[in-house]
Each structure stands twice: as structure tokens, then as C-alpha cells.
Amino acid sequence: MLEQYLDINPEVAAALAAGKPVVALESTIISHGMPYPQNVETALRVEQIIRDNGAIPATIAILKGRLKVGMTPDEIEYLGKAGLDVIKTSRRDIPFIVAKQVDGATTVASTMILAAMAGIKVFATGGIGGVHRGAEQTFDISADLQELANTNVAVVCAGAKSILDIGLTLEYLETQGVPVIGHQTDTLPAFYTRESDFGVDYRLDTPEQIADVLKAKWAMGLKGGVVVANPIPEAHQLDRAMIDEVILDALAQMDDQGISGKASTPFLLAKVAEKTKGSSLKANIELVFNNAKLAAEIAVEYVK
């Protein structure tokens, strides 16, 4: 039944069939995360990092209504040029994008869904979505968290995006039974910075240890994903006080302009990039590279 909707890239399909390591990648970072041509250059570099560390990359998107698991360089170029014209696609949007045969860029949640359809267990991204600041009034909670509760994919990230309420995000994940692993860290990284005021559930220091946990969890039928929090490299982290100030200012502007829902994160990230004169974009790219490397290492250990 899935075959009528799903296109698995031949290289990815062959790797999965042979039991080789594969790492899923999202596409919202291409369409909404940065401008062309930097978005395409970054996406292709991330794929190369995964190859250099022994795994096969599978960038995921929806093109003309087809669920694509693994994209060609030409398809990544097409998506990068289309940019903001591509629909940011979460779980609820998938059937509409498919039925209308249009293009969709996958978020963390929808990338997890398509990865699971194909049988991919490890996914590298920048940061996960979560509980937005002020959610006690707005109920603005990312669909990423519910997907992590239900879908058997490990998400390697630089923690929760620092524009979020990190404490409430962790509380939500705990309620849903989603383990949060800190890779060589005791505290949850806050995207642009290596630390926050909040601890992780478990610290694990090697890809092998992380892969062992994933195998045990899913072999026992314990449904749901795992957050693998991987701090941004120290050389590329931003000043925490400066980032907090910039985010508070951006949140105030968002309220003034009445921006909410799926438009919130792109707006906030753009404002942060503007205020930091592009240093946040550089940090974003470096943390994605770092996550891709770790995800490939975990995927290699997982298939052993």
C-alpha cells in the first residue's frame, strides 16, 4: 500500500536491504532554515559528512506529492531554490500535500514518520521543537514531541531550540516516556549554547552505548523515539546572555505582529540571525555538521 506514495532512493533502499547504516535528514532546514545557495551547499555537505563517517544519507521531503526518502543532488537544488514557497509539512499536513501533489519540506515530526516508513532508525537534525514560551496561554506545543512519543526513531540534535521553554519541553517528554540522552553532557544543550539549566535523563559518552540503548528499547517493544542531545562544538557556541536577550526581543516583536503557529519558529530564527549579524546561522550550520557525524557513528554501531 505504501508503495503508491513512497519513493525510496535506490542507494538508500539497497543499504537498508543489506543492513547497512542509514541516517535520515530533514528538509525544512533547506527550504526555511537558510537562504539559497547556502541551504543547498549545507545540505550536500551534511550528506558528505554522513558518508565520511560510514553511513548512507537519506534527505527526506515531499516532491509533487511523492514521499521522498533519499533525494538526488538535483532534487535538493530544486527544493533549495523553491525555498519559502515550499510548504512546511508536519504530521497533519502530509495527506493534503500528497493529495494535492505539491511540494512539502519535512519537519522533525514528518521526517520521523517517513524515516520509520522506510525502516530508518537514526535521524540527524539541528534542534527539536518543543513547548513554546507562554504555552500556558497559547497551548503552542510542537508536534515533534508527540511524534517522539510514538515513532521509533532516534533524533540526534543540539537539544531544544533556545527560543523554546526548555524546562516545560523536558517535562512534556518525561510525561510521554521519551528518554533524553546527553552525549558527553549532563545538561540539555540549548541549541546555540552547550548548556542550559536543565539536566538530561542519562549521560552516555560513546555512539556504541547509545546504539545499545536503542536496540534494547525497541527489542523490548517500548514504543517511541529517543532524543540524543549533542552540544554544539565549543568553538562555535554563542554567548548565552546575548542569545537570551535577542530571543526575548524577538518574542516581543512576534507578539506585536500577531505571529503564531508554524510561522513562529522561522520568524524567531530569522530575527536571531538578523540581530547576531549572521553568527547564529554559522552556529546553526556547525551544530548540524556535528550532529550528522554523531548520527552516522550511532547508525554504524546500531547495525552491528
Residues annotated as catalytic are: 26, 161
| Mean pLDDT, range 197-225, rounded to an integer | 98
pLDDT value, residue 199? 97
Binding region for Mn(2+): 140
Number of domains in the chain: 1
Task: For cell 546527553, name the residue.
Answer: 182
Q: What is the CATH number of the domain that holds 256?
A: 3.40.1790.10
Greater confidence (185 vs 165) lies with 185
Q: What is the pLDDT of residues 46-85, one digit of tens each?
A: 999 999 999 999 999 999 999 999 999 999 999 999 999 9
What percent of the chain shows pLDDT beyond 70? 99
What grid cell was written down for 11? 542507494
pLDDT at 34 over 70: yes
Greater confidence (262 vs 161) lies with 161
Torsion over CA: 27, 29, 32, 38 (sign): negative
Estimate the crossing angle of helix 166-175 against helix 143-150, to 10 degrees.
30
CA nearest 190: which of 165, 229, 157, 162?
162
Main-chain dihedrals φ then ψ at residue 26, nearest 5 degrees:
-85, 170
Poorest-confidence range of 34-48, 214-228, 268-282?
Answer: 268-282
pLDDT value, residue 262? 66
Residue-averaged pLDDT of the chain? 94
**Which H helix or E strand runs over 58?**
strand 56-63
Poorest-confidence range of 43-52, 102-111, 132-141, 182-191?
Answer: 132-141
Binding region: 88, 108, 140, 142-144
pLDDT at 133 over 90: no
Task: For cell 554544539, name the residue.
Answer: 232
pTM score, two decimals? 0.94
Q: How far from chain centre, in Å, is Cα 301?
A: 20
Q: Which domain holds residue 157?
A: 2-302
* Cα separation, 84 vs 81, whole angstroms: 9
CA–CA distances in Å: residue 298 to residues 56, 214, 272:
12, 10, 31
| Mean pLDDT, range 265-289, rounded to an integer | 84
**Which H helix or E strand runs over 182?**
strand 180-183
Q: What count of other Cβ atoms lies within 10 Å of the Cβ of residue 239?
A: 13
Torsion over CA: 120, 122, 125, 128 (sign): positive
